[in-house]
Amino acid sequence: MGSSRAASRRTGGFVLLAGYLAVAGATAGYAVASGGRRFVATGDSFPGWLTALAETVGYFTATLAGALVIGTLVYVVTTAHPDDRGVLDADSFGRHRFAERVSLVWLASAAAMIPIQAADDSGIAVSRLADPEALRVALGASEMARGWIAVAVFSGVTALALRLTVRWVWHVVLLIPSLIGVIAVPVSGNAGQGPNHDYATSSVIVFAVALGVLTGVKVCAMLAPPSGPLQRRVLLLELTSGAVALLYGALLLRVMLPPTSLTGSDYGRLAMLGAVALALVWLGDLAALIGGRAGRLHSGRGTAAASALATITAVAAMSAMAVQTAPGLLAHKFTVWDVFLGYELPRPPSALRLVTFWRFDTFLGTAALVLAVLYVAGVVRLRRRGDTWPPGRTVAWLIGCLALVFVTGSGVRAYGSAMFSVHMVEHMADNMFVPVFLVLGAPVTLALRALPAAGGGHPPGPREWLVWLVHSPVTRFISHPVTAFVLFVGSLYVVYFTPMFDTLVRYHWGHEFMSAHFLITGYLFFWGIIGVDPGPRRLPFIGRLGVLFAVMPFHAFFGIALMTMTSTVGGRFYSYVDLPWLSSVVADQHMGGAIAWGSSELPILVVIIALVTQWAQQDRRAASRADRHAEASYDDDLDAYNAMLKELSRSRR
C-alpha cells in the first residue's frame, strides 16, 4: 500500500512538473508574441525582451508556488488526523513535505521578482539595477516591486516554519503569513489603482486566496488522492473555493474591464481563458457531487490531472493579466480622488451622508454577513434538536455583525478613508464596539454544541479542529491577559505614532488591514474580560475589572496626545487628498483625538454591565451550591470530617 502511494506521488509529481513547464512555456510564448504592445499602450519604455519575458514567467512561477503553499496548508488542516501530541499522520506529512519544498521555490522566485519587477516598471533592463543605488530608486517607483519584497519575507517565514514543525496547529497559524504573501502583490497591482479601487482591492483579496486554495487542493488531490470520507470533504472544499473565485473574479472584471474590451484586448481574452478554465473545473466538481462520483473524480488519474492543470492554466492567465495595465485604467482620465480614494466626496460629511453613502466592503462586509448566517444556522440546529440557546447571545452577535457591515461599508468608511476624525469613529467601532458584542455572542460555545463530533472511523471534523485550536498553546498565549492587554494597548500607539500609519492610510488594503487587526486585538482583549467561551486564562472578576480600568488611561492619553499635537498623523496623505471643504487637517486631527477620548465610554459601560452581571450570576450559583451542601449536612469541612469519623466508627464496630 505504501509503495503504491509513493509511486502515485511520483507519477503525480511528474505530471505536475510537465504541466508547469508546458503552461510556463505557453506564458513565455504569449510574452514574446505580445511584444511591446503592453508598453506602447501605457507609454512606458520597453525594458528589453529578457526583462519582459522574465517578468511574465517569474510572476506566474511565484504566484503558482504561493497558491500551492496556501492550498496545501488548507488541505493538511482539513484532512489531517494528528495524534494526541498534535503531530501529523503519515499521509499529511507527505503533503507537508510538498509544501516545504514548494515554499522554497516561492521564496526564490519572489526574491528574483523584486529587481525584475522594479526594472520592468522603470522601463530599463534588469542588468542596469546591479548598482544598489539604482535598485533603491527603482524600488521607490514600483509598488509591485515592494509588494514582492513582502512576498519574499512572508514566504521565507512560511518556509522556515514548515522546516521546524510538523504539528497540526502550526499549519493553521502558517495560513496567516501565506495568506499575506498571496495577496501582497495583487493588492498593489491593477486592483489597487484608479476609480473604484476600493471595490477591486477588497475583491482581489478574496479572489487571490480562493484561487490559491482551489489550485493547491486540486494539485494535492492529484498527487495523493483522498480516500474514504475525505473524498466528499475535499470535493466540497474545491466547490466552495471555485465558486468564490468565479464570483469575485466576475466582480473584478466588472471594475477593471469595460464590456467592449472583453474580446478586443489581450487582457479581455486572457480573462475569458481563465474564466472558462475555472468554470469547467467547477462544473466538473458539481457534477461529481450531484452524481455521487467524488471518489472517481479524485482517484481517476486522468481526470484529476486535467482538473489540476486547468486551475494552473487559470493561474497563468491571471498572471499574464497582472503584468499589464487593465484597459479600464487606460481609458480613464485620473483625478486625485481616483488615485487616493477611488471615489468622489464632493460634499462634507453629515449624519445623513454617513448613513446613506454606501460602498459595500466585499471583503470584511461579506465576512460579517457570512458569520451572521452561520451563527443563525447553528442556533436553528440547536432548536431543532430540542436544545435552548440564550436569545441575548444571538442578539449580541447579530448586532456585532451588522455593526461591522455598517462601519466598513457606509459613509463611515468612505469618509474615514479621507478624514482622520471620521477614521477614528471607524477605529473605535472596530476596536471596542464590535468586538464587545461578538464576544458576548459566545460563538465558540455555540459551535461546540451545534457541530457534530466525528464518529469512530471518521477523520476529525470542524468540531475537533475547534477544540484543538481553543486548547492549543498558541491560543493560550495570544489570549493570555497580559498578551491581550499589550496587543490591545500597544498596537494603538505603534500604528498611529510611527510611520506605519502614513503607509497604511495611503492604500485601501491598509484600511482593510487596520480594520482586521483592531477587530482581532479587541476581540482577544474582551474575550478575557467578559467572554463566555472557553479558552483564555480567566482572572478573578475583581482582576478583570482592574484590567478594564487600567486600559482607560491609555486611551485617554492617546486622545489627549492627538488633540495637542502640532504635527499631523498621516499629514502627507491628507494634504494630497486636499478635501475642498476641510479647512484644517490639524483641526480635524484634534477632533479625531476628542472622538478617541470620549467615544470609549459607551463600550466600556456595556462591558462593565456585562461583567457585573456575570459576577452576580456566579455569586448566585455559588450561593445555590452552598445551600444544597448545607441541606445535605456538608456545609463545611468540619461537618464532612465528623461524618467521616462517624462512618469509620460504625464500620469498625
Residue 290, in any domain of the structure: yes
- As a whole number, mean pLDDT of residues 280-299 equals 79
Mark whether 167 and 258 lie in a shared domain: yes
> What domain count does the chain have?
2
Residue 338, in any domain of the structure: no
Binning pLDDT at 50, 70 and 90, where does residue 614 land?
confident
- Cα-Cα-Cα-Cα torsion 344, 346, 347, 350, nearest 10 degrees, comes to 0
Check residues 179 and 91 and name the one with the higher pLDDT.
Answer: 179
* Res 367 pLDDT > 70: yes
pLDDT digit string, tens, across residues 506-533 = 999 999 999 999 999 999 999 988 888 8
pLDDT digit string, tens, across residues 205-239 = 999 999 999 999 999 998 888 877 888 899 999 99
* Res 3 pLDDT > 60: no
Mark whether 545 and 587 lie in a shared domain: yes
Mark whether 367 and 305 lie in a shared domain: no
Mark whether 234 and 378 lie in a shared domain: no
d(CA 413, CA 457): 49
Task: Please say which residue of 601, 623, 648 terminates a domain.
Answer: 601
Check residues 222 and 258 and name the one with the higher pLDDT.
Answer: 222
- As a whole number, mean pLDDT of residues 246-255 equals 92
* Res 452 pLDDT > 70: yes
Q: Select, from the ranges 35-39, 182-186, 466-470, 623-627, the one with the highest average predicted confidence (pLDDT).
A: 182-186
* Res 409 pLDDT > 80: yes
pLDDT digit string, tens, across residues 103-135 = 999 999 999 999 999 998 888 888 888 888 888
With b for 16 or more beta-carbon neighbours within 10 A and e for fewer, the 232-252 pattern comes to bbbbebbbebbbbbbbbbebb
List beta partners, residue 270: none
Mark whether 381 and 307 lie in a shared domain: no
Residue 607, in any domain of the structure: no
Q: What percent of the chain has pLDDT over 90?
A: 56
* Predicted local distance difference test score (pLDDT) of residue 538: 76
Q: What percent of the chain has pLDDT over 70?
A: 91
* Res 623 pLDDT > 60: no
d(CA 230, CA 78): 9
Binning pLDDT at 50, 70 and 90, where does residue 651 land?
low
Mark whether 499 and 366 lie in a shared domain: yes
* Predicted local distance difference test score (pLDDT) of residue 502: 92
* Res 638 pLDDT > 90: no
Mark whether 319 and 439 lie in a shared domain: no
Mark whether 224 and 172 lie in a shared domain: yes
Parent domain of 390: 358-453+460-601
* Predicted local distance difference test score (pLDDT) of residue 644: 55
Mark whether 385 and 304 lie in a shared domain: no
* Res 652 pLDDT > 80: no
Torsion sign over Cα 429, 430, 433, 438: positive
The Cα-based distances of 45 to 128, 131, 453 in angstroms read 14, 20, 61
Residue 342, in any domain of the structure: no
- Full-model pTM: 0.91
* Res 649 pLDDT > 80: no
- Crossing angle for the helix pair 508-530 and 391-409, nearest 10 degrees? 160
Q: Select, from the ranges 545-554, 579-588, 634-643, the one with the highest average predicted confidence (pLDDT).
A: 579-588
- As a whole number, mean pLDDT of residues 630-653 equals 55
* Res 634 pLDDT > 50: no
Domain CATH number, residue 67: 1.20.1630
Check residues 276 and 261 and name the one with the higher pLDDT.
Answer: 276
CB 304 within 8 Å of CB 298: yes
> End-to-end alpha-carbon separation of the chain, Å?
68
